């Protein structure tokens, strides 16, 4: 929340619907898929402290306390699940992730 409160660019991006949150692997996935996939897995989502493993969903309580919209959070997928494929231009052809 600190970044949203201290960087007007982030608050503006949030207001415009152009802000996403994630861990490093979420960012890498976003970049490798050309912005088509905004996702994470259970092992990485635990590092955020925002996920409720009892409900298997983002914690509404933590999000409310931090005043963070759920819309900026990545989809949580099974670790062995389908995470799309790389942008063809990166390696000459798409590679499944």
pLDDT at res. 76: 96
pLDDT at 1 over 90: no
pTM for this model (two decimals): 0.87
Average confidence score pLDDT of the chain? 94
**Would you state the pLDDT for residue 26?**
96
Span 49-91, pLDDT tens digits:
999 999 999 999 999 999 999 999 999 999 999 999 999 999 9
The Cα-based distances of 54 to 57, 71, 75, 83 in angstroms read 8, 20, 17, 24
Yes or no: say if 85 and 94 are a contact pair by the CB < 8 Å rule.
Answer: yes
């Amino acid at each position: 929340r600190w970044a949203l409160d201290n960087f007007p660019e982030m608050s503006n991006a949030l207001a415009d619907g152009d802000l996403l949150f994630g861990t490093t692997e979420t960012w890498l996935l976003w970049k490798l898929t050309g912005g088509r996939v905004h996702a994470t897995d259970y092992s990485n989502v635990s590092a955020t402290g925002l996920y409720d493993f009892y409900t298997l969903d983002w914690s509404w309580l933590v999000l409310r306390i931090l005043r963070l919209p759920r819309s900026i959070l990545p989809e949580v997928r099974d670790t062995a699940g389908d995470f799309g494929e790389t942008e063809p231009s990166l390696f000459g052809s798409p590679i499944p992730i």
